[in-house]
């Protein structure tokens, strides 16, 4: 596939040359830079690119051109490349053109000439627009294919990992295409050995681990240095916020994420109450933006890498990774978050990944288009999941153990659920069994007040029934509460000295600091946290200021 195009259009040859120079300097690695000296020439270039099937990522067009204005050109080009981002250039504040552009062509931005220095006045604007374009536009297929089965848990795991990490792939279903089955057999000798991941260079991976996949597609899985100022365990909102603030303030920062940036929040189909996004933002988009921001400031992010142990070796903290390597640091932030609590009823273990899923499992939405699915749970995450699946399924049933949604769900979500014609909320019910031959066929539910049991036939069950903290690796290192969450600051139990047992510094623990000096906790994994995305972001960023105070003492 040829590179997507950035097309600049201006009738002033000096300005056009300057635009081309600045665009090539910053974007030539990922985009093809083209130019045109008039509106009509720019439109003709857009036509030719459409005919060749070359995607246009962004139009950067001068407004005041003879024969065809920038707005007129963009209005026609929009019909050919509707997903391209559209930016107008002008030499002065032309309010009339801006209003016309916004109303007539869905203008994305408006830039004044001159744009010097481009590092401040040009690139940040275009970086954001191009990031949005690449995240939301489906480009022509470019090589990576996953051959698997609808009812294969391993296939589901690979699809989910690639999707959440923003790696495009083409799905090949062995159940619906005999040629795909033959392809898998030619690679493995066994058509049931799924999935098979096929790469553009001709290589293949059979039932790969997340780490094998990450290494193959070019993700960083190995730390570049042995020592950092700060290691952050977990890449959810708290971890990402900590990485952004720590790196921006000059700390050598490493963030280690086991699955995908964004954590549980990254699976949210739409977060509508996050400050600054009046139309809402998906968890994936929020995670993508935060990841790009952290990398821009110099934070190093490891993907598909598990932290298996942390030990104290004063004045250092040593983190052992799943590949057996170790990295040292002055400080550690625990931000590994929580996972959806597993459902302990007959049939679940066998059917997980075969119609039973934990969390939103957005990669599976198209599989259940026009079918009946159930969402189990009554908190915000369940509500967001129900609304997401209602776009695809013919019917969504919410199974809620409480007698109403009002005890655990935000009002705005309740209002939207009540307004959705294909969502039905059934309260006072608990799932006691899931069943099916090879894949989910139905669930048995019990009325919690009467004890009556009945069956519901359905195609998929998505489970949101509370959370459990990821603290197994630090259970013997830091103090936890009775539910396994990390205790910090004033919540730590005190010994006779008035400070935590074994506490050596001649000071009280800082806010967000655990029972081990230099190890901090932020976000959902911390006891007493707000369990909201905004709260996690606030804790992650606030935790960095406390880390600075600690670093000043070592």
User: Which of the residue ranges 82-86, 128-132, 269-273, 318-322 has the most confident prediction, judged by mean pLDDT?
Assistant: 318-322
* Higher local confidence (pLDDT), 207 or 53: 207
Per-residue b/e over 396-406, b at no fewer than 16 CB within 10 Å? bbbbbbbeebe
Closest by CA position to 335, among listed 257, 269, 251, 406: 257
CATH code of domain 145-216: 3.40.30.10
User: What's the pLDDT at 176?
Assistant: 82
Q: What is the rounded CA–CA span in Å between residue 235 and residue 286? A: 12
Q: What is the rounded CA–CA span in Å between residue 257 and residue 455? A: 39
User: What's the pLDDT at 496?
Assistant: 66
**Lowest model confidence (mean pLDDT) among 256-270, 374-388, 453-467, 537-551:** 256-270
User: What's the pLDDT at 182?
Assistant: 86
Q: Over 70: is that where the pLDDT of 202 sits?
A: yes
Q: Over 70: is that where the pLDDT of 95 sits?
A: no
Are the folds of 227-339+468-551 and 348-465 the same?
yes
DSSP one-letter code for 352: B
User: What's the pLDDT at 103?
Assistant: 67
pLDDT band at 96 (very low <50, low <70, confident <90, very high): low
The alpha carbon of 228 is separated from its chain's Cα centroid by a whole number of angstroms, namely 25
Q: Over 90: is that where the pLDDT of 20 sits?
A: yes
Interval 297-306: pLDDT, tens: 999 999 999 9
Interval 459-468: pLDDT, tens: 999 999 988 8
Domain spanning 348-465: which superfamily? FAD/NAD(P)-binding domain (3.50.50.60)
pLDDT band at 457 (very low <50, low <70, confident <90, very high): very high
φ/ψ (deg, to 5) at 471: -125, 10
Q: Over 80: is that where the pLDDT of 12 sits?
A: yes
Interval 103-145: pLDDT, tens: 666 788 888 888 889 998 899 999 999 998 988 887 655 578 9
Q: Where are the alpha helices (DSSP H) in 342-495?
A: 348-351, 380-389, 411-419
What DSSP string describes 464-523? ---EEE--GGGTTTS-B-TTSPBP-GGGS---TTSS-TT--SSSPPPTTB-SSTTEEE-G
Domain ranges of the chain: 5-136, 145-216, 227-339+468-551, 348-465
Closest by CA position to 295, among listed 387, 219, 394, 390: 219
**Does the domain made of 227-339+468-551 have the CATH classification 3.50.50.60?**
yes
Q: Over 70: is that where the pLDDT of 93 sits?
A: no
- Residue-averaged pLDDT of the chain: 91
User: Which of the residue ranges 99-103, 176-180, 284-288, 309-313 has the most confident prediction, judged by mean pLDDT?
Assistant: 309-313
Query: Which whole number is the average pLDDT over 26-39?
Result: 94
**Lowest model confidence (mean pLDDT) among 90-94, 405-409, 471-475:** 90-94
User: What's the pLDDT at 313?
Assistant: 95
Q: Over 90: is that where the pLDDT of 278 sits?
A: no
User: What's the pLDDT at 97?
Assistant: 64
Reported as half-sphere exposure (CB side, CA atoms, 13 A), residue 52 has a value of 14
CATH code of domain 5-136: 3.40.50.2300
Query: Which whole number is the average pLDDT over 218-246?
Result: 96
User: What's the pLDDT at 508?
Assistant: 93
Environment class of 186 (CB within 10 Å of its CB; exposed 0-12, middle 13-18, buried 19+): exposed
Q: Over 60: is that where the pLDDT of 1 sits?
A: no
């Amino acid at each position: 596939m040829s590179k997507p195009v950035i097309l600049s259009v201006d009738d002033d040859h000096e300005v056009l040359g300057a635009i081309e120079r600045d665009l090539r300097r910053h974007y030539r690695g990922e985009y093809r830079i083209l130019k045109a000296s008039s509106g009509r020439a720019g439109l003709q270039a857009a036509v030719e690119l459409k005919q060749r099937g070359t995607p246009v990522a962004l139009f950067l067009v001068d407004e005041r051109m003879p024969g065809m204005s920038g707005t007129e050109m963009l209005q026609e080009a929009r019909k050919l490349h509707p997903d391209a981002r559209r930016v107008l250039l002008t030499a002065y504040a032309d309010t009339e053109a801006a209003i016309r552009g916004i109303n007539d062509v869905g203008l994305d931005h408006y830039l004044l000439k001159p744009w010097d220095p481009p590092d401040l006045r040009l690139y940040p604007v275009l970086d954001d627009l191009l990031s949005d374009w690449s995240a939301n536009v489906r480009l022509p297929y470019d090589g990576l294919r996953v051959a698997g089965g609808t009812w294969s848990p391993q296939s589901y795991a690979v699809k989910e990992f690639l999707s959440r990490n923003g790696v495009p792939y083409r799905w090949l279903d062995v159940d619906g295409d005999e040629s795909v089955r033959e392809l898998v057999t030619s690679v493995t000798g066994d058509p049931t050995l799924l999935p098979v991941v096929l790469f553009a260079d001709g290589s293949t991976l059979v039932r790969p681990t997340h780490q094998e996949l990450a290494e193959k597609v070019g993700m960083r899985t190995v730390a570049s240095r042995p020592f950092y100022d700060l290691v952050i365990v977990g890449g959810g909102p708290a971890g990402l916020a900590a990485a952004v603030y720590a790196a921006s303030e000059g700390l050598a920062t490493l963030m280690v994420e086991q699955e995908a940036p964004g954590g549980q929040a990254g699976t949210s189909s739409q977060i509508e109450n996050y400050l600054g996004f009046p139309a809402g933002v998906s968890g994936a988009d929020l995670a993508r933006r935060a990841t790009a921001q952290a990398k821009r400031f110099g934070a190093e992010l490891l993907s598909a890498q598990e932290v298996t142990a942390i030990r104290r070796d004063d004045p250092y903290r040593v983190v052992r990774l799943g590949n057996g390597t170790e990295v040292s640091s002055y400080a550690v932030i625990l931000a590994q978050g929580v996972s959806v609590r597993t459902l302990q009823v007959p049939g679940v273990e066998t059917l997980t990944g075969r119609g039973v899923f934990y969390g939103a499992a957005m990669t599976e939405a198209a599989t259940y288009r026009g079918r009946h699915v159930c969402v189990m749970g009554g908190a915000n995450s369940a509500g967001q999941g129900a609304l997401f699946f209602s776009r695809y399924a013919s019917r969504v049933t919410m199974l809620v153990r409480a007698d109403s949604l009002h005890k655990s769900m935000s009002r705005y979500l309740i209002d939207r659920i009540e307004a959705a014609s294909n969502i039905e909320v059934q309260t006072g019910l608990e799932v006691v069994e899931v069943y099916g031959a090879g894949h989910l066929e139905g669930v048995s539910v019990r009325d919690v007040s009467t004890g009556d049991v009945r069956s519901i036939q359905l195609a998929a069950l998505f489970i949101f029934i509370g959370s459990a903290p990821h603290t197994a690796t630090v259970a013997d290192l830091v103090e936890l509460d009775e539910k396994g969450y990390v205790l910090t600051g004033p919540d730590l139990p005190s010994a006779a000295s008035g400070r935590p047992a074994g506490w050596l510094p001649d000071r009280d623990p800082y806010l967000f600091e655990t029972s081990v000096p230099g190890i901090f906790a932020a976000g959902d994994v911390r006891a007493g946290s707000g369990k909201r995305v905004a709260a996690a972001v606030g804790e992650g960023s606030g935790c960095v200021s406390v880390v600075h105070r600690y670093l000043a003492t070592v």
